[in-house]
Amino acid sequence: MSAGSLAGRNVLISGAGRGLGEAIAAHLASLGAVVAVCDINEEAAAEVAARIISAGGEAVAYGGDLGAREVFHETMAAFARAYGPVDTLINNASYLVYEPIERVTEETLDRMIASGLKSVFWGVQAFLAHRDPEASKGWIINYSSPVAYRGRPNTGAYTAIKGAVAALTNVLAGELGPRGIRVNAIAPGSVPTPATAGFVSAEDYERRAAGIPLRRNGRPEDVARAVAFLIGEDADFINGAMLAIDGGIIAAG
């Protein structure tokens, strides 16, 4: 395997039907990984997989709500049956709502917790059940956020979930490390994508960029390359890390 190559790797990515998940899927496939593009929107997942295949990569699409334990286990099992044991899991799925704390409803909170936190538990369980028991290595990436470290108004539910994901990543790094499984998390900062266009305007992104030490917003490829690094051989001794991909937002406050 050449440096940077992911040939022979079977990677399942949740929430990959658009946005950062789509960018990660496309990039990892370009490095030789077989990618399972999973999304609650089955049509979107299928479109992403088709684009990857047309670009010369290998991908398969699965639709379903991975916040449901049974669905995640069934999806992982289907991928393993088709391509063999799964060695890499990217827990990217989330459902995002920004609103003042007094407006948070039970329905919204339940949906956000299922998508952004429960799916991490179910994904790890399914991954452990469908990896090669003889494998000496495995890779899990969880998706946290700078808001877990820098409180922002109107992000109460999202911040609580991303803080929980960060804490869970620490636990899993210690719990699964003895099995050769490296568990890390990413904290992407302000990254415009079609998925965020509905609740962050272009003007808002301009204001955000002005406050970022590098004076620009992130790009999907910034996040995709960072994920590829964390699951690659160059990061072989990195376990339990939170990689900020934010231009310095967390560091500078």
The DSSP letter of residue 222 is: H
Residue 158 bears catalytic tag: yes
Dihedral sign computed on CA atoms, order 202, 207, 208, 214: positive
Give the C-alpha distances (Å, rounded to integers) separating 124 from 36, 116, 131, 146, 169: 15, 13, 10, 23, 11
Rg (alpha carbons) of the chain, rounded to whole number = 17
Nearest to 230 by CA among 76, 14, 72, 31: 31
Structure tokens given for 253: 């406050």
* CB < 8 Å & 24+ apart, contacts of 231-237: 231/6, 231/9, 231/11, 231/28, 231/88, 231/139, 231/141, 231/182, 232/4, 232/6, 233/1, 233/3, 234/3, 234/4, 235/182, 235/184, 236/182
| Catalytic pick among 62, 143, 149, 158 | 158
HSE on the CB side for 125, CA within 13 Å? 16
Which residue's entry shows tokens 């955000």? 208
Alpha-carbon distance 12 to 15, whole Å?
Answer: 10
Which residues carry out catalysis? 158
